[in-house]
Amino acid sequence: MNYSYSDGSTPVGLDVGTSRIVAAWPADNGYRFSSQLNSFVTLPNSRLTEGVLRKESVPHTVRGNEIIVHGNESERFADLIGAELRRPMTKGFLNPGEPESMPMMQNLLLSLLGPAAHARQKLFFSVPAPPLGAHDSLTYHEATLRQILGELGYDAKPINEGLAVIYSELESSNYTGIGISFGGGLCNVCMSYLAVPVIQFSVPKGGDFIDSNAAAVTGEMINRIRMIKEDGFFFNAISPDKAHQVLSVYYDDVIQSVVQAMRDVFQQAKSLPRLGRPIPLVLSGGSVLAGGFRERFEQALRQNDFPVPISEVRLAAEPLNSTSRGAVIAALSEM
């Protein structure tokens, strides 16, 4: 059941991720989450197929001679018919090269959230920080999501993904510290001082980069590599398994890219607050679920002379939910 305030309003937090979209609502015992894969697949249209999909309640749309299956079921159907999954987003942003990205996003958000329950229902949606040294993709991405969510009736505002991780995980340090999300499309880094973001940037590498490069080297399908990775990959220098060995090479590449970018950005920052004491660093996002990730990251940080003293490096309590949790906390703070 939805948790509502005395004025009947219910805030929503939304994590618009390259691989998954997660919604969060306040609930009696904390928060309630629901998620959909951010992907789709097209099937040839036939009355029979459509009838079966409807009977099985598989989210889909019929367009001309195609049926589009989107969200969680798309993976199974892509596998069944041997087709590639199509993705509305790439590297953290709406994919301008995918003509269906906007209608697919509309369908996914409608099936996940439904229309707003009341006038001016508050919703915070996560957006990546601008990638270092890349052209601006944020303006179009943010404006399009605002438009889609506005059409569903929400009063929608963006929140930086790294800051959302801090809101979710660093209440105990008064929202002072570093939050990093290691996602599918990219990694987001944010440093905040008393809930005010001081530094934020993204690195355009994540789980997808690991999967596609490991697939190219091993000759496996990307999907297969992703399944191997999600099903028990752990960092181990002497793994006899070829796929694990290749995965760890690209995993290390992502960790090194983020840590080196952090060192450079923090070293060059002109306006770092005088902190007085070491600050906590929290790791979140699906890519931190690999066994031994925390230790590997901490080791890389130590080897790279990171200029800010860190009190602890810890994993988020629920790495797949912290962005949406932080977004709903941001919405609650404005009630």
Ligand X SMILES: Nc1ncnc2c1ncn2[C@@H]1O[C@H](COP(=O)(O)OP(=O)(O)OP(=O)(O)O)[C@@H](O)[C@H]1O
Question: Helices then strands (H, E): number in the chain?
Answer: 10, 15
Exposure on the CB side of residue 311, measured as CA atoms within 13 A:
12
Residue showing the smallest CB distance to ligand X in the complex: 207
| Beta carbons of 245 and 237 less than 8 angstroms apart | no
Among 130, 177, 206, 326, binds ligand X (CB under 6 A): 206
By CB under 6 A, the residues from 264 to 293 that bind ligand X are: 285-287, 289-290
59 binds, among ligand X, Mg ion, none (CB under 5 to 8 A by kind): none
Which of 149, 191, 313, 320 is the binder for ligand X (CB under 6 A)?
320
Closest CB to Mg ion among 88 and 183?
A: 183
What 3 state SS string does 21-60 have?
EEEEEEECCEEEEEEEECCEEEEECCHHHHHHHHHCCCCE
Residue from 12, 13, 14, 17 in contact with Mg ion (CB under 5 A): 17
Helix (H) or strand (E) holding 222: helix 222-230
Candidate list 11, 13, 20, 167; residue touching ligand X; CB under 6 A:
20
Task: Establish if 183 lies at the interface with Mg ion (CB under 5 A).
Answer: yes
Pairing of strands 121-127, 12-16: parallel
Q: Which window, 40-48, 109-117, 162-170, 225-233, contacts ligand X (CB under 6 A)? A: 225-233
Among 158, 207, 280, 326, binds ligand X (CB under 6 A): 207
- Least separation in angstroms between residue 66's CB and Mg ion is 29
The residue (of 116 and 127) whose beta carbon lies closer to ligand X is 127
- For residues 68 and 41, the answer to whether their CB atoms sit within 8 Å is yes
Taking a C-beta distance cutoff of 8 angstroms, is the pair 123, 156 a contact?
A: yes
Residue of 184, 204, 280, 326 that binds ligand X (CB under 6 A): 184
Q: Which stretch binds Mg ion (CB under 5 A): 21-29, 139-147, 177-185, 313-321?
A: 177-185
Residues within window 136-175 making contact with ligand X, judged by CB under 6 A:
none
Site string for ligand X, 69-108 (x = CB under 6 A): -----------------------x----------------
Distance in angstroms (rounded) separating the CA atoms of residues 158 and 246: 36
Ramachandran class of 153: left when φ > 0, alpha when ψ lies in -120 to 50, beta otherwise: left
Least distance in angstroms from the C-beta of 261 to Mg ion: 17
Within 10 Å of residue 28's Cβ, how many Cβ atoms?
7
- Altogether, the residues listed in the chain come to a count of 335
**Residues near ligand X (CB under 6 A):** 15, 17-20, 92, 181, 183-186, 206-208, 226, 229-230, 285-287, 289-290, 320
